[in-house]
Structure 1
Amino acid sequence: MDKHAIKALIEAGLPGAIVTVNGDDGQHFEAEVICAEFAGKPLLAQHRMVYATLGSKMGNEIHALHLRTRAA
């Protein structure tokens, strides 16, 4: 798994989101996701929405993902 694949998965699951993913060791990543769908949702709900786009890859191919999320 690489940062480009993670970015593509998040963008596919949250159309219109602005996504930046960093991390070059293949296991530990950090992502910033700005999405209009986050408006009015608490931070935990925003993070769950992002994790849902990654499915079973979280905890498997992706060992750790530090998230920063906010509404557009």
Structure 2
Amino acid sequence: MPMPVEELRRCLTEAFPDAEIAIDDLAGDGDHYRARIVSTRFAGLPRVRQHQLVYAALKGRMGGELHALALETSAPAGD
């Protein structure tokens, strides 16, 4: 069963309350998304660690309810 975009947004917003989050449904099937997340939590972290934080926020749903997630993560400019 696909993950609704509202649920994906809720998980990300809970984990990154300060973030600017943009989500695109890439295939129109609720199963392939792109998320752009800008959060102060990413400041000073390598990209791999940033993505690990996002996957942790999804609480094991990646690869199950959520088949594919293209990530673009960054800290706000100046951080």
TM-score (ref. length: structure 1): 0.93
How far apart in 2 are the matches of 1:32 and 1:3?
A: 13
Larger radius of gyration: 2
Are 2:16 and 1:14 aligned? yes
1:63 to 59, 64, 67: 67
Deviations 1:9-53 (A, max 9, x none): 101011211111111311111100000110100000000111111
Are 2:44 and 1:40 aligned? yes
Give the partner amino acid of 2:8: I
- Aligned pairs, number: 72
User: Which structure shows the higher helix fraction?
Assistant: 1
Structure 1 vs Structure 2 CA RMSD? 0.9
